[in-house]
Structures are given as structure tokens and as C-alpha cells.
Chains A and B, each alone.
Chain A
């Protein structure tokens, strides 16, 4: 039976770079996938593209490509990534340019375009799922609308001989499903294979989160050598059989526990994990440790894919102002509480226009609120944090200022004040009939040929 090995080289845009080099060097992999596109990253990248049409792709693209292209080219490892963000075509041109500069002119680089569905979404004035309203009602606050594409166009690029495939918004598991479709030619209505392939993609997409990252909880869950955490490898057979492992000698661990945690990560109904290519069913999945850092994962299945694609809509939501200051020693908690009361009153007195305000004591109740944290003891130090949502930057700035002025106007011993004000690009979702998204594969022409 044919088997492929896919390495996962990044779990988010800012992720560590050396584990991907280690995978390319010692992982025995044929494919290296980089998942680098967060929920709202496309919207932020779209803003960058509006300022400069050659921009709008992942800021670490050059660094990552320079690090892995020579090794991947030497070993014939194909790269699949969503580092194209809001501008996959420009990202592909940039990658081809980097390849040439490294003496790798024969490398074929392809972009998958067509996830940008702003126009069809506007034409249909689609309703927003998270709140009452439609696309058009967002007016000039609307920034972007990108459909989560499936694996087919990426597989098509690989079938056409691409060495590097760069997409914008695509479902994260689809980045991994694409090499499986390319290698095994699975039918696009074999829901059980697509479901099991989705299990593989879902387990691998967050990179270090299945090899011991986001897991250690000493002394209950100890993980060796997190500073040198190895990123995962999926060994996938033509029949969908799957083993999760990692590079021998790297840090971290792959165990039944790490695999179970990652299987349920960001999953709602395990019977219906909705993807562009399949409605995957994780409910019958089993995991089995078959060796050191080797876990067999079986039982993923599926049912037909939905008729719509999920579209991530980026929009300017509001502005957030924030201020922080610390108190320590005996009575720190009381002085922190007094500081919050002073700021609360000041924001009223000076008429700061905020639609939502939040008063936290970091070290006491900032993560889970006053009720959950009520049973904890008194800390040595506390950090006051006041945040508020406003309609413009000027009002947002005033919130941080009211915290900073506690230096000379507030309780004794306040130190380390910090303030910030920023605009908030948020995302919401709409559902678009799938035939209205028309993905296309574009190879970089010219010198790279």
C-alpha cells in the first residue's frame, strides 16, 4: 500500500521556524504544510494590500521560504501553505523570486486564487450569522470577504506539477487533504476517506499542539524538552490509515493523550465537523499508541459536503482603549480595587463615550471573572487593567490616560503604567452558495520556467 508522510511546519503565522527545517532535513517527508492564516489575518492583510498592491501576504513568507526552499528542492519535498493571505498571486511571485535568488530557478510555484468573494457576497447582500445585519449594512466598515476553499484547487496545482502551492483562505485541514488527493486520487464523494483525511489534517494543522505543545501541566502532564519541540508528521496510507509521529530525537511527545486533546480542539458537534469538502464525523475515532511517539488514529468517517461555503467577513468593528498599572506588597489588592473605582468614576466625570467597559485585576479576576476566582487567596501583587470599546480613536486614548494619571493622582505605590489604543478589525461569517466561488490555479510565468 502506498503511504505518504506530511510534515506540519507551522501552526500559526508567528510560529517557530527551526522545527520546519528539522522536518525537511530529517523527517523523511514528501510534503511540508504551513498553516499561517488566523481568523482575521486575511482582513488585516487586505488592508495592507490596499496600501500596496504587491503586499497583503504573510510577513514571514520570505524568512520561512528562505529557510526551507533549498532543503525541500534538494529532497523533492512539495510545500503547501496559506501564506498567500489576501494576495496569493503576489506571494507566489515573491516565492519564485526567492527561489531564483537561491539558484532554484526550476522550482514551479503556483497560486490558488478565488477565495476573495467580496463581490458575490455584496451582490446577494448575505445575512451575517453572528448578529442581526447584512453585508451591505456594514457599509464602508466592510474590508474583506474570503471563502474557506476546499482541497481540490490545491490538489489540482500539485497534479499540474507545482512544487510550491500558495493559497489564501482555505480550510486548514484542506491544506493537508490536498496532498492526499494528489497522491491517492481519492474520489471527491468518498465521504469516509475524506472524513478520515480531515481527521489527519485537523490533528496536524496546529503543528506543535499535537507533539506536546499547549499540553504540559506538571506534575500531571510532563513533556520533555519543550524548547526544542518537534513538529508532527502524519503517515497516511492510501486506505486512509493514519499514524501521527515526529522527528526522532526532537523535543516533545506524541501520545494518545496529546492526540485526543487535539482531536477535540475547536470542535463542536464531533459528528458534524463541517468542511468545504466533507462533513467529517470524529465520533467513532480511536487512538492507539503503537510505539514511542507513534499513535495510530482510526475511525474518521463522513457524510456529504454542505452546499454552501463559509465566508469570513472582515470589518472595522470599533476601537479599544486600554490602561494598566501595578500595585504590590501588603494591601496591594485593596489599592488595586481603589484604583479601579477611581478610574470608573473618572470615566463618568470626564464623559468618555464607551459602549462597553471592563475593570480587571490581573492576578485576581481578569481571566475568569469575580465569581469563579472568589475562592483564591490574596496575591502579593496585582495589576489593574481597564479596557473599553469606543467609536473612535480619540475616545479610546482617553481610557488609557485615565489609568496613567493614577501615577500622581491615585493610590500609593502604583508602578509600570502602560496604555494603548487601537482599531479593531473583527470577523463575522456568511454562507455563500458554493458555485459562486470560482477558485483558479495560476502558475508563476516567466523566468521561473
Chain B
């Protein structure tokens, strides 16, 4: 299934860094996020977009992850040549990630 089935997401920007939250709709799916939505997978998913590193922060109280991706916004929001200079649309791309449903889970 797609990540979109179990999580929602929002993108924010600061300079040349983008952050994307991934939040489980249901807290019982948080372990799936922890296990399968890794920094490595996110970096691979955004091939050609992220030029820096991807750091993952975990927020168990919110059943959420926060990915911080450096060198991602075309040199910075205020000078980028990109159509979506803020990278606002990146959250929707991340929800396209494939997730394997584990038995007993949704």
C-alpha cells in the first residue's frame, strides 16, 4: 500500500532546507512508520531533489516523524529557479512511498 493510506504530511521550508512531517492517522501504525519510513528510503525516494542529508526525528507522543532535508530547495527559497521554490508540494510526493502492511495491521 501507499504511505498515504496510513499517514498525512506537511512540508515546511527554511532557506535551502525542507522539512516534511509524516504523521500516522492511527497511533497503532506508528511502528510501521518507524520501521519502514527511514532516512535512507526518504533520501532514495527524493533522488534528484535532495542534494544534502536527510535527518529523521521521532515524536512518539504524536505518532509522527519529522524529516529534515538539507540542500533541497534550489539554493534557497528566496533565490531558487524552481517553480515550487518552497518545496510545498514535496509532502504529497512522499505519501507515494510504498509501505508493506504487516500482519495484524491495517
Contact = CB atoms under 8 A, between A and B. Distances in A.
Interface of A: 39-40, 130, 214-215, 217, 220-221, 257, 260-270, 282-287, 299, 317-318, 320, 356-358, 360, 362, 366-372, 385, 387-389, 424-427, 429
Contacts of B66: 264, 267-268, 270
Contacts of A360: 83
Contacts of B25: 257
17 contacts: A130-B76, A263-B62, A264-B23, A264-B66, A265-B12, A266-B13, A267-B19, A267-B66, A268-B17, A270-B59, A282-B59, A283-B57, A284-B61, A358-B74, A368-B48, A368-B89, A429-B15
A266 B45 CA distance: 21
A367 B84 contact: yes
Nearest to A314: B78
A387 B75 CA distance: 14
A331 to B, nearest CB: 23
Q: Which of A268, A285, A429 has the most CB of B within 10 A?
A: A268
B81 to A, nearest CB: 4
Contacts of B15: 130, 429
Given A368-B89, A369-B48, A371-B47, A130 B81 contact: no
Contacts of B82: 358, 366-367
Contacts of B47: 371-372
Given A261-B8, A268-B17, A425 B78 contact: yes
A388 B57 contact: no
Contacts of A366: 82-84
A30 to B, nearest CB: 29
A91 to B, nearest CB: 23
Interface string B16-57: 110101010100000000000000000001111100000001
B106 interface: no
Interface of B: 4, 8-10, 12-17, 19, 21, 23, 25, 45-49, 57, 59, 61-62, 64, 66, 68, 74-79, 81-84, 88-90, 92-93
Given A267-B19, A368-B93, A372-B45, 17 more contacts: A130-B16, A130-B76, A214-B10, A257-B8, A257-B23, A261-B8, A261-B9, A261-B23, A265-B10, A265-B12, A267-B12, A366-B83, A368-B49, A371-B49, A372-B47, A389-B79, A427-B78
A382 to B, nearest CB: 13
A221 B68 CA distance: 24
Given A371-B48, A372-B45, A264 B78 contact: no
Nearest to A386: B81
B67 to A, nearest CB: 10
B81 A264 contact: no
A124 B36 CA distance: 48
A221 B59 CA distance: 21
A283 B64 CA distance: 10
B8 A370 contact: no
Contacts of B45: 372
A265 B68 CA distance: 11
A312 to B, nearest CB: 10
A260 B49 CA distance: 25
Nearest to A265: B12
Contacts of A286: 61-62
Given A261-B8, A424-B78, A427-B78, A367 B64 contact: no
Most buried by B among A264, A369, A427: A264
Please indicate which of the listed interface residues B4, B61, B68 has the most CB atoms of chain A within 10 Å of its own CB. Answer: B61
Contacts of A269: 57, 68
A187 B17 CA distance: 33
A427 B85 CA distance: 14
B59 A39 contact: no
A362 B84 CA distance: 11
B8 A217 contact: yes
Contacts of B8: 217, 220-221, 257, 261
Nearest to B25: A257
Given A285-B62, A317-B79, A320-B81, A264 B12 contact: yes
A371 B15 CA distance: 23
Nearest to B5: A220
A266 B14 contact: yes
B27 to A, nearest CB: 11
A366 B93 CA distance: 13
A368 B88 CA distance: 11
Given A130-B16, A267-B12, A299-B61, A426 B79 contact: yes
Contacts of B62: 260, 263-264, 285-287
Contact of B81 (A367, A387, A427): A387
Contacts of A371: 47-49
Contacts of B48: 368-372
